[in-house]
Amino acid sequence: MTGLIIFLIVMPIVVTLIWRSGKRKQNGFILPDNFRSLLNEHVAFYKNLNDADKIKFESRIQDFLSYTRINAVNTEITSLDKLLVASSAIIPTFGFNWHYYNLADVLLYDETFSEDEFAVNAKSANVLGMVGTGAMQRMMILSKPALRQGFANEISKSNTGIHEFVHLLDKADGDTDGIPEELMSRQYTIPWLKYMSEEIEKMKEGKSDINIYGATNKAEFFAVASEYFFGSPERFKKNHPELFDLMTKIFHQNPETEKLL
């Protein structure tokens, strides 16, 4: 019954957003007066950038928020929440120019949620984030507590926002399969598949420190490994040097040195 009630609450929002997406025009988004202090306090990636790259990051998040709507379901949205969503989008794409053409709206949910509450096949009752399909195409759903938690620890291996945006990058070539063909040069595809398969086997054997959820399939491996890569790059490089090197080539940046490649 609870799921039905939530479904009835959420679906009018979804229908409205889908209708509005076809009429959407870009409008300049004005960042809050305290946006720099919020980013410095909550986004380690931004805090560690040099001044020139900070300005670039600020411009990128402003642009993202100009073409992406962020709406709430049974919760309130603060300036910090919008900045964290935008940071989740820009961190993995900071090394290259990217526009999320496959995203129009982000829904922030008050807690975890079940996939069946959003009219898709139910797989889990405690989902932290998901990329919409079908009627919810070009939509992302995130748990607000999970979004914030991902930025609470400066060296965390987990970040729900980055995880879901990496899925969108993976999906840009038409398939969410862990092989981001839009980002990866062909010469790296075979090595990437090799190291990915080897690491998944290690994970299944309990011999890897990468989150076991990444062993679900190659798409989840790419998203989970990306969380680790951006959240704790020094540790990731030490424990997974080959993967780290390949991922610097995929993302065109080295988060350990904060250098763009």
Q: What is the pLDDT of residue 109?
A: 86
Classify domain 2-260 by CATH number.
3.40.390.10
How far CA 2 is from CA of 6, 67, 100, 143, 163, in Å, comes to: 6, 33, 33, 17, 28
Q: What is the pLDDT of residue 130?
A: 62
| pLDDT tens string 162-221 | 999 999 999 999 889 999 999 988 999 999 999 999 999 999 999 999 999 999 999 999
**Which segments in the chain show pLDDT lower than 70?**
1-27, 111-137
User: What phi and psi values does residue 128 have, to the nearest 5 degrees?
Assistant: -95, -25
Q: What is the pLDDT of residue 259?
A: 86
Q: What is the pLDDT of residue 22?
A: 43
Q: What is the pLDDT of residue 156?
A: 85
Q: For residue 234, count other CB atoms closer than 10 A to its CB.
A: 12
